[in-house]
Chains A and B, each alone.
Chain A
Amino acid sequence: AQSVAQPEDQVNVAEGNPLTVKCTYSVSGNPYLFWYVQYPNRGLQFLLKYITGDNLVKGSYGFEAEFNKSQTSFHLKKPSALVSDSALYFCAVRDKMEYGNKLVFGAGTILRVKS
């Protein structure tokens, strides 16, 4: 079965510094990987996805993620963190389904950006 792991419960970073939120995956076949963000009292919002092609994927709000096949990782990154980036971040992998997009999510990582 497809799965992802987020090894950090929480990441703390100072505003203006680069941030990384880690994700590793375990899949059979080609991985289809996603990042979602959840702000307080809101549902999850799509940030970016990796399907195929360039290993560096750019997404919303200045985020990007680097796909690394040898390390089976898909870390989320941003060059300069903002306080408003503070939220819960989920990594996810697509599990094959006849119709629709079944996503298997990690446990989430809380990102706290301090001014």
Chain B
Amino acid sequence: ETGVTQTPRHLVMGMTNKKSLKCEQHLGHNAMYWYKQSAKKPLELMFVYSLEERVENNSVPSRFSPECPNSSHLFLHLHTLQPEDSALYLCASSQGEADATNEKLFFGSGTQLSVL
């Protein structure tokens, strides 16, 4: 158990659906991340939040909308996705200090998303 919990574990949705992925961390961390994992491709960093403020958005399509209401929770709202968006979506957290050289990321188990 890493202290980072993601729900749901699996999600199947149509291209016109709206759904949300949820991430919760119990580690007292200040930084949270969304990564996309596709087979045989490097993990893609999507969004980074530090102290509930979005500090990085890596040219992610607007059909993905993140939300960080507090330092313990992170959401990824999904709307009109495409089949190529099918992937494992991983949430991670870290302490988020200014000198983050020694920081480790703690990952959740991910949500396996299938878009039909």
- Contacts A97-B48, A99-B50, A99-B96 given; does A46 touch B104 at CB 8 Å: yes
Q: Give the segment of B12-20, B37-45, B59-67, B72-80 that binds chain A.
A: B37-45
**Would you call A105 an interface residue if the criterion is a C-beta within 8 Å of the partner chain's C-beta atoms?**
yes
| Per-residue interface assignment for chain A, residues 22 to 58, with 1 indicating a CB less than 8 Å from any chain B CB and 0 otherwise | 0000000000101010000111111001010000000
Which positions in A face B, CB cutoff 8 Å?
A: 9, 32, 34, 36, 41-46, 49, 51, 90, 94, 97-108
Chain B contact residues, majority secondary structure: loop
Within 8 A of A (CB), among B45-97: 45, 48, 50-51, 55-56, 90, 92, 94, 96-97
Q: Are A43 and B42 in contact (CB under 8 A)?
A: no
CA gap between A99 and B51 in the complex, in Å: 9
Closest B residue by C-beta to A106: B42
Contact partner of A107 (CB less than 8 A), chosen from B41, B45, B110, is: B41
Q: List 7 A-B contacts (CB under 8 A).
A: A43-B6, A94-B101, A98-B50, A100-B100, A100-B103, A101-B94, A102-B45
